[in-house]
Structure 1
């Protein structure tokens, strides 16, 4: 019964953006739905970071509901008992609501993607020119189901770092695929075929960023942000004592080594130092790439966006250390990484579209379903 209640909550939340798209008086409803889903997915990723950073990941220690119910309201007695037994533990009414809101919004994103799939398959059956294969939203739905499975394991395996990091990366993969689809549905004013030769460089930049985000996720899920308390040095040294073996042992419990011992400070330093050092490589490469790509008119706006986000990421990353990990800055740093990924996806799409024989979708050819 509570599963049906959860589904209805997700549906009710999804009806708000669906209604917004459908009341717009134009013929680009499917494209607007894709863009709106992309934007809301970005918001969900940032809220997921907020959930993790407020230690709310176990606010409801079961899944998909909260103590077998659809709402912390209904589970009030169980939450109060858990909080009374352990006031400093992971369960409280505030944390339960943060965790359940994250789940509600995730279900709403799932409903929006199901709506995309229904529209695309209906257009295929009725032979309407939607200019997108229905397998796109179908594949995205499979991706969000996999993401949901890792969300469940995040709870049931008690925030195991490799599961939480994979959950983050799958969320970013979802954002990237939605961003690519949104870009595919949007006409580009002009294309320069000379930009096509930058496709390998842009793809490599995206790969570097994904690796850096994975390292950042590993820092966050292991709570290693303050393992280095100064900048640019790490605990007063350029190369401090580190334990890479324990720090990067993937399959282990939170705060423990693979052998079941408490993880050492040197292991946390290794995690933090690696993320910080690799950031130098990524920043220098992306700066060079964006400065080169902004020479092309069709790439100038996303390239400028990459330059701006690199500056913001540097400032928020440094502030996390200097200001002792304030919550708004930490959430902004997570969101900045997601925005940077989305911008690089847009750049890669536009460069790919610059190849001879590849054309953008004309705006007048995209119709509602």
Structure 2
């Protein structure tokens, strides 16, 4: 009897959950709840979060510098639970991709055990040993993906497990390094990379139609669009992590009443600063934040031009549904970015800005899958 839970369905559900985790994570970060649980992976020492008056009192006593806030703590801990569920599903998908090759499955099981042990050691403050275990748990799936004798969607499914392990480490460091901007930005990019890999697997498993020669020639243009969009998303993550979204106030297209206000790009793009600094609320001055905001706006112009041109070319070569989706999401994303500034970063608009960025990334991946030949994969196992 055929198993009703096919790899395609598993991949599709996991990709959908990854998208939800990204959007919910943006909601947590933008509502200033990123440090609402000062420990990791527990929240004030609990698997959920303190609920009774006695538990709250003990939590405040244990962490006097971080008073417990129910409306924030539940958001952070639910996000962690969702991320843990996502990691489990990605692990299951990786096992399906490696099955029944025993050595590869054993390596993935070893990686999962190493990650679990790394978490346990981290909670006991054995940070060096924990880092080594996480490094193995990250590297082993990538090694398996490199040598797996199957079509590329299965190799990507295995590699996604390694990315998820690294994401877990970034989530841990986001808390313990007090919202360090480079870690926060990396966590955002890691989440989007995970979603992108899962989306590529899902779309490849569903692909049936071979592209024409003219459509195949779009491949480098689409890849360039993906690279530019990824760089722009990184800039957006850097803007958010440094609290520079409102560096120009509500002024657009000018910034603080000027087309080119006082800026400090050198200070604004220092990637690594001292450990032990609490970055909640940001530490940069107005000129450095303005530089980040200006860079993000200029990047948006470049991305808009190239991605729109990509959509037009795809439309002319018969990929009209994909092209329309790319163009629609691109214009929506630009509109949301402008509204973020004009409306002073309302939480629903700012969260939607992150979600549409992920959807725009998905639409370009879908377009890329359409212009490469479909691979012969067993969609049942």
Q: TM-score range by the shorter chain?
A: 0.7 to 0.9
1:251 aligned onto 2:228: no
Tell me: CA distance 1:75–1:114, structure 2 relative to 1, closer, same or farther (3 Å). farther
Structure-1 separation of matches of 2:172 and 2:278: 16
- Aligned equivalent of 2:99, options 119, 122, 135: 122
Structure-2 separation of matches of 1:49 and 1:337: 11
Q: Is the 8 A contact 1:82 1:92 kept in 2?
A: no
- Aligned equivalent of 1:188, options 205, 208, 214: 208
Tell me: CA distance 1:111–1:336, structure 2 relative to 1, closer, same or farther (3 Å). same
Tell me: CA distance 1:75–1:251, structure 2 relative to 1, closer, same or farther (3 Å). farther
Aligned to 2:245: 225
1:275 aligned onto 2:296: yes
Aligned to 2:380: 368
Moved more, 200-209 or 181-190: 181-190
CA deviations 1:231-267 (Å, max 9, x no partner) are 11111111111011111111124559xxxx9521111
Give the C-alpha shift of residue 67 in structure 1: 2.0
CA deviations 1:305-364 (Å, max 9, x no partner) are 11011111111111111111100000000111111111112222222x1xxxx3344xxx
Tell me: CA distance 1:322–1:85, structure 2 relative to 1, closer, same or farther (3 Å). farther
Q: Is the 8 A contact 1:225 1:321 kept in 2?
A: yes
Q: Is the 8 A contact 2:179 2:279 kept in 1?
A: no
* Structure with larger RCO (C-alpha < 8 A, sep 6+): 1
Structure-1 separation of matches of 2:260 and 2:71: 40
Q: What RMSD in Å do the two structures reach over aligned CA positions?
A: 2.9
Q: Report SS of the residue matched to 1:185.
A: helix
Tell me: CA distance 1:275–1:234, structure 2 relative to 1, closer, same or farther (3 Å). same
Give the C-alpha shift of residue 138 in structure 1: 2.5
1:327 aligned onto 2:342: no
CA deviations 1:241-297 (Å, max 9, x no partner) are 1011111111124559xxxx9521111111111101110111011111111112233
Aligned to 2:30: 53
1:175 aligned onto 2:195: yes
Scaled by the length of structure 2, the TM-score of the pair is 0.79
Structure-1 separation of matches of 2:64 and 2:353: 29
Question: How many pairs does the alignment contain?
Answer: 330
Q: How do 1:194-343 residues align onto structure 2 when only pairs under 5 Å count? A: 194-229=214-249, 230-252=251-273, 253=277, 255=279, 262-297=283-318, 299-343=319-363
Tell me: CA distance 1:90–1:367, structure 2 relative to 1, closer, same or farther (3 Å). same
Q: Is the 8 A contact 1:186 1:360 kept in 2?
A: no
Aligned to 1:8: none
Give the C-alpha shift of residue 134 in structure 1: 5.1
Structure 2: give runs of 5+ residues left out of the alignment: 103-149
Give the C-alpha shift of residue 79 in structure 1: 4.5
Tell me: CA distance 1:321–1:202, structure 2 relative to 1, closer, same or farther (3 Å). same
CA deviations 1:36-71 (Å, max 9, x no partner) are 111110110011100100111111111111122211
Q: Is the 8 A contact 1:244 1:270 kept in 2?
A: yes
1:39 aligned onto 2:59: no
Scaled by the length of structure 1, the TM-score of the pair is 0.82
Give the C-alpha shift of residue 85 in structure 1: 11
Aligned to 2:108: none
